[in-house]
Structure 1
């Protein structure tokens, strides 16, 4: 009977870790923070017991201060920082805590001072080097890198290149970040570093390589939503729709907390469904994206782009106009957004659905395009773009050049292109259109003069050679 009772006591003790060990004495900051947030009174009791039992344990007291700081309780953190300073033994944990508290108060100079002291006190302890580099990366990247290279020299056993890569990533210097990430095997990178590596490659424009990195990261960390998200985006952009569909489903399955789903996830899900030939289902996802991001500035612009991608120009136009209506800043340059709106009207007018015939509906859409491009030229009178596209819209409304609607706008675009040494292809098109207009009107000298200008830019242009041949025959 005695043995049975003893066994029961042993089992009860083993099943009660709080009794067996004081959480605030464990050194596990996350567990300490959890207790501070869930039961601050009990946490305080445990702290008092821990310090009473080991009042000269500098590292323990500093760790308690760090836990309170991480829980957002700066005053308590300062209390234990000062208490740890009174201990007989000097500790880098204490000195670093001083820097952390200063940083929490936005006092970067004081933070740099404490981290500098910690580096001086123990040259081989990496924590202060890492924290110092984070503080100065935006003001003195050279100093930050220098400190990390120094600890790398002293401690070749540490994966310092990962820290350097993270600095460059945080400073948006993706080229340097990628170079550092690439020097490390995947197995030595943290989960965050792998995510940032893939994001850096994506932001540098290499979708194929970004997919490779994200896929390797996903094999190591299969439950990381950021890596699955990157795979979805990259597979979609490369039109690997079947694979992207699996990514989209997995991402939504993983994100059981809907607050962690981004509106861009729904946008890309919609792109995938449209790519697989399911436009109606794609629209459902776009509407979910809009509902998700109703308070996000510029969401209507993103939704407009989404509808443009699936060829729904009416909704793309609607949301672009909604976006423009939200702009109240009088100094904002609306010309780019207006140009995109004009292009939406243009694409609608020239879409397969609209057909080749010049119907009243098509003319109405072209007039809208022409009006919007007119606004662009008013806002950017020194750019050929508004005039050029205004000319093209008018040319479609006057395909036989009967009224010469496009002529003045081609001339205005050409004047700017010639003045600024613009793109030859655009100049040749303007010359060609004007030459053909004068040919139709039987004003051969002008038609020939423009054809000769084309030949100077492109001696093999078939239109110019043919017109000059006709002009020579007529002579």
Structure 2
């Protein structure tokens, strides 16, 4: 048995815990909130559970409205027609039928509207006027829509619904500030008008997040279980960069069961930024099952696998995505993900190619020069490494301690490799200046002094000038604070210092006709340092041989 699919099934059984609604109120609130996809799913789910014709006809009307809003006119017509068949004296579906004709057959539309308005019991119904206003709004006729909004106000001057639709008209015209004022009026006349609060919250999300949160909290206060509030709360926290709160709230919305594919895609993105990679995988599996060619889902699927470190599986997914996606639809993150996976799989040459592509796609990410430089350093392509480290440091404006160390080591290793004296010296001088800057930046660390010591030891190969001496002495000073931790560095420092004093002693002895007594002090210094090496490593052959050669 495939345990993966069992887990996926359990995951979605936890998400889809919605309770069948006894009426259409939740769906209507979702529709009035502008959450058309969720409303559509609600009514499709709820329609088979309704037992009375009026409730079914109402669900059909709102399904038609949802499909019309989504641009699916054939499906809208199907449900309007079905609603008329279920309950002929429920006039809203005839308004829906009229909305489909307003642009192409205005006279036919007017006849249907007249018929709807003549329905017994609805002649002075303000809500029917609102339905007609929405029909004109669907048709893009804001002026006619407003006429019927005003008629609705005349018929019921205590309802907030006309102000809700008036706000929608203003939004269509691009007057969001005025729309918010109308939505506020809607809540004044109808304090339980959830759609008005949610539409205000959506508008305020990008301009006044605290006010947006205030409106959403009001919805939760009025209707704690209304899933639409948690959808918007998730979006608000996502925009604010609070991934944890975004995931918590959007999960509550998804658990209602009233989500569409777009909601799932957004949910996957929220889970991605909250690093819930295990949770987002089954979400993406469901989306891809329904829309196998969906670009966003395929992209997130590859990203998710990358974060889960699924190795070859991830590499295959991002490779397939890159190879199957037209170049004009590829973005910086795609190339970055592919480059990182190639690097993780030690395909260094191709990794560099795609880091370069990422840089070309979005030049502000100059930090990628550092990634490329690291690869070149790792593969011992030092000439290229220094080019990219320098590019990165130039773009950053100031080198960090890590940058100084990496670039300095590149120049040092180049000097170790090169045999041309002038080139080698130039590389060592560059390395020395970088390690000097490192010591200035982090004076309490041994690292800068240690590498300066190595560089200066190469600049003074015969140890005649003792160029490395002050740096090794500084390493010893710092290293004595923790001899176990700095054992390797201390041993190297003691060996150099011992050898330096031996060279000095030898020079004095030679100058004094081979008399070692004239250099006794220097020989004693040398013996002391080599003895310190043996105190740390009693089997060190160099120290043992050095002490054997010093006869004093």
TM-score (ref. length: structure 1): 0.60
Match of 1:233 among 296, 300, 303: 303
Where do residues 134-173 of structure 1 align in structure 2 (5 Å cutoff)? 134-137=202-205, 141=209, 143-152=211-220, 153-154=222-223, 156-173=225-242
List alignment gaps of at least 5 residues for structure 1.
1-23, 34-42, 69-75, 416-421, 449-461, 467-475
Equivalent-residue separation in structure 1 for 2:456 and 2:201 (angstroms): 65
Structure 1 residues 121, 48: closer, same or farther in 2, change over 3 A? farther
Whether 2:279 is the aligned partner of 1:213: answer yes
1: CA distance between counterparts of 2:134 and 2:483? Answer: 69
1:176 aligns with 2:245: yes
Shift of 1:228: 3.3
* Matched residue, 1:340: 403
Q: 2:69 aligns with which of 19, 29, 45?
A: 29
**Map of 1:68-467 to 2, 5 A cutoff?**
79=143, 82-83=146-147, 85-89=149-153, 91-97=162-168, 100=171, 104=174, 107=177, 110-137=178-205, 141=209, 143-152=211-220, 153-154=222-223, 156-183=225-252, 190-204=260-274, 206=275, 209-210=276-277, 212-222=278-288, 223=292, 224-237=294-307, 239-252=309-322, 255-256=325-326, 258-291=327-360, 293=361, 296-306=362-372, 308-309=374-375, 311=378, 314-322=383-391, 333-336=397-400, 340=403, 343-346=406-409, 367-372=429-434, 383-384=442-443, 390-398=448-456, 402=463, 403-405=466-468, 407=470, 463=536
Q: Distance in 1 between matches of 2:152 and 2:482?
A: 75
Q: Distance in 2 between matches of 1:66 and 1:463?
A: 86
Q: Specify whether residues 439 and 173 from structure 1 end up closer, same or farther in structure 2 by C-alpha distance, changes over 3 A only.
A: farther
CA distance in structure 1 between the aligned counterparts of 2:176 and 2:446, rounded to whole angstroms: 52
Task: Compute the displacement of 1:170 (Å).
Answer: 0.9
User: What CA distance in whole angstroms lies between the structure 2 residues aligned with 1:61 and 1:216?
Assistant: 42
Q: Do the aligned partners of residues 464 and 81 (structure 1) sit closer, same or farther apart at CA in structure 2, a change above 3 Å counting?
A: farther
Q: Distance in 1 between matches of 2:249 and 2:66?
A: 35
* Cα distance change of structure 1 residues 246 and 88 upon mapping to structure 2, 3 Å threshold: same
Superposition deviation, residue 118 in structure 1: 2.9
Cα distance, 1:172 vs. partner?
A: 0.3
Deviation at 1:45, TM superposition (A): 4.9
Corresponding residue for residue 37 of structure 1: none
C-alpha separation in 2, matches of 1:114 and 1:428: 75
Q: Deviations over 1:16-47 (max 9, x none)?
A: xxxxxxxx9997235399xxxxxxxxx99549
CA distance in 1, matches of 2:269, 2:214: 25
- How many Å separate the matches in 1 of 2:65 and 2:225? 31
Measured against aligned partners, the alpha-carbon deviations of 1:64-114 in whole angstroms (never above 9, x if no partner) come to 55786xxxxxxx86x566555434355354233256358x4574xx45423
Query: Equivalents in 2 of 1:201, 1:26: separation in Å?
Result: 28
**May I ask how many residue pairs the two structures share in their alignment?**
390
Q: Secondary structure at the match of 1:272?
A: helix
CA distance in 2 between partners of 1:423 and 1:281 (Å) = 43
1:4-15 alignment runs, 5 A limit: none
Q: CA RMSD in A?
A: 5.4
Q: Within 2, Cα distance between the matches of 1:96 and 1:409?
A: 76
User: In structure 2, how many angstroms separate the alpha carbons of the residues matched to 1:344 and 1:47?
Assistant: 75
Relative to structure 1, the CA distance from residue 435 to residue 355 in structure 2 (aligned partners, 3 Å threshold; closer, same or farther) is: closer
Local SS of the residue matching 2:187: helix
Deviation at 1:140, TM superposition (A): 5.8
Q: Whole-Å Cα distance in 1 between the matches of residues 411 and 108 of structure 2?
A: 73
Partners of 2:163 and 2:182 within 8 A in 1: no
* Secondary structure in 2 matching 1:31: coil
Gaps of 5+ in 2: 1-63, 74-100, 115-127, 154-160, 502-521, 529-534, 540-552
Larger Rg: 2
What is the distance in 2 between the residues matched to 1:157 and 1:315? 59
- State how far apart, in whole Å, the 1-side matches of 2:232 and 2:412 are: 53
- Give me the whole-angstrom Cα distance separating, in 2, the residues matched to 1:178 and 1:358: 56
**CA distance change for structure 1 residues 126 and 88 in 2, over 3 Å: closer, same or farther?**
closer
Provide the rounded CA distance (Å) in 1 between the counterparts of 2:139 and 2:427: 63
